[in-house]
Structure 1
């Protein structure tokens, strides 16, 4: 077995009703002055109000930053940092989807004033320390609560990542009850996103692809493959919601250590230029990227297929890999997600620009099982159109 490194959050606390522990955890981990980072949509759900009541009942004073946007731009991060510094907070809580958790990670580092956002872009550039950090996901998709990654939109459409173990939180608090009110379309997009994390992690050509990540990826696919449709169409099913939240976390642990590849690389221009949510962007290109990869590297997809779709065990090799790609496309459609770039009103003459932009995602493309040229990216976009 070749050497590898595996990092994850220091403490994972999972279960229905776990939000009730937030006050005692915050007081023990952080002190009595914290910042809670979330978004306007979360403010309308009642979940933030519950969290604030729980924190205040434990004697914790809370500074709320609620202006997080999807695919957060640099300005949002810097605004939150400024507010955290002004309030002299002792810890940071991220509550919401992946964007809120990503911003919370960065604020925990930058609020100390020892590093700048521009200096920490890339892999391994965060020196630390950071403020104590608790992450509470309310979607089953990004796995951000267990990843050392934060994605920021820079300029008009480009995205850059901050990748460092320093960003892993002290506590990942996962309460499936917080996902019960998630609308079907968001449940579907985030669910497929989590499955993409598992799939790309398992097939990654990263030097750090490891048996622990592969084990987590297959378990994640088993949980989500059996539950995503029920979570979408029967959103009050707590068992399905628990499977999805736990599966998303496992997939997050997997790709945090064995990084994702071309699906994400080709999805980023969709979000950057057209503000398509990240999970849906991944779903739109997923089957087309996998068919491209499976033409020359079918083995990992053939190995994964029966975990997500047990009925595919009757096939072998290339046939099983091809069936896996087809079943993923069928699952996306059954979840009610849009199935083409055309359906998203993307102009066909813009595809070459997206192919060019995708080539900038070298951090991701290097992990793909098959080399992707700009011409290949354009062909994939045309297939998805």
Structure 2
């Protein structure tokens, strides 16, 4: 067996209603003065109020930073860091963007590093403040990953990748995902499935048996529950399976990193402000069909796990069937089926392809080499 490293959040707690125990949980980990990092949409729900009631009831003083934006720019990271002055710990409550901002605020608030110091893989050294992640979407898996994504400039994205920013605790309460709009449930769910698929098929030298096992279980859970969660939003079994599947997929790709689907999705989000999960969904089947021409084995392995009706097919047939079923699942969940559906035209494709090819950190993990011409052809197929 090849050597590998596997890092993840040291503690995971899951259960309906756990948000009401956040006070005692946070006090033990984060101390008595915390910063709660969230976004304006979350402030309009009752979830933040429940969190604040629990924290204050346990004698924890709380400051709230609620200015997180989707695909957060550097200015938001720096503002959250400034808000973290004099706190003893940080809680990220919300989707992946809120948790990503909380991770970086916890790191930078100690004053040992600047944001520009920590871009890249392994650049962040710490220390950081104690950190709890409370996801309210079943998508990014950010609660268990060593990754935060930042928008730099107008559309470029950069990553901070370091085990230092893995949270101390992931608190999973499926009740927090119950009132998500159907399109958010769908897009974030496909995002989580992409994490599992790319982790399993990754060409990374750290692709490992633990990540592959987690990816398989994640796809088993999510393949059976995503459509139910979209069409029957109060189906708490489906919500719980999606939340756990997202976490398992996050653990998988945190250690066996993602590849061309994400590389081609990032420019779509950067230039056209398309949510990340939807960006992934739009290119996913086309990247898989491209990869399956030379490396179908991983997708053939996964096909019957996510879609049992694909059992018994040959390797190439199963791989292609897997891509087709994923496209059909996205469509049944109400997501746009092509790039035209989000306002992208043929004239935009060369720009997207150029930007995608800059994502070398991701493309190196793809099971098939992607050239400039390949990237353009994939976008053309997705148009």
> Which category describes the TM-score, using the shorter chain as reference length?
over 0.9
Aligned partners of 1:108 and 1:131: how far apart in 2? 5
Point out where structure 2 has 5 or more consecutive residues left out of the alignment.
Answer: none
For 1:323-353, what per-residue CA distance to the aligned partner results, in whole angstroms no more than 9, with x for missing partners? 1111010001001000111111113201001
* Equivalent residue, structure 1, for 2:235: 237
- Superposition deviation, residue 205 in structure 1: 0.4
- Distance, in Å, in 2 between the alignment partners of 1:328 and 1:341 is 16
* Cross-structure match for 2:309: 311
SS in 1 for 2:69: coil
Helix, strand or coil at the partner of 2:176: helix
Measured in 1, the distance between the counterparts of 2:202 and 2:107 equals 29
Name 1:228's counterpart in structure 2: 226
Q: Give 1:138's aligned residue.
A: 136
2:311 is paired with a residue whose SS is helix
State the TM-score, normalizing by the size of structure 2.
0.99
Counterpart for residue 84 of structure 2: 84
Secondary structure class of the residue paired with 1:314: coil
Equivalent residue, structure 1, for 2:293: 295
Q: Shift of the alpha carbon at 1:83? A: 1.5
2:26 is aligned to 26
TM-score w.r.t. length of structure 1: 0.99
1:125 corresponding residue in structure 2: 123
User: For residue 343 of structure 2, what is the aligned residue in structure 1?
Assistant: 345
Structure-2 separation of matches of 1:270 and 1:332: 17
Whether 1:175 aligns to 2:184 is: no
Match of 2:37 in 1: 37
The structural deviation recorded for 1:21 is 1.9
Q: Deviations over 1:90-143 (max 9, x none)?
A: 100000000000000000000011100000000001111100000000000000
Equivalent residue, structure 2, for 1:329: 327
Give the deviation of 1:314 after TM superposition.
Answer: 2.1
Deviations 1:2-43 (A, max 9, x none): 111000001000111111221011111121110000000000
Match of 2:258 in 1: 260
- The runs of at least 4 consecutive aligned structure 1 residues that moved more than 4 Å come to none
Partner SS, residue 131 of structure 1: coil
Alpha-carbon RMSD: 0.5
- Find the counterpart in structure 2 of residue 52 from structure 1: 52
- State the alpha-carbon separation in 2 of the partners of residues 20 and 41 from structure 1: 20
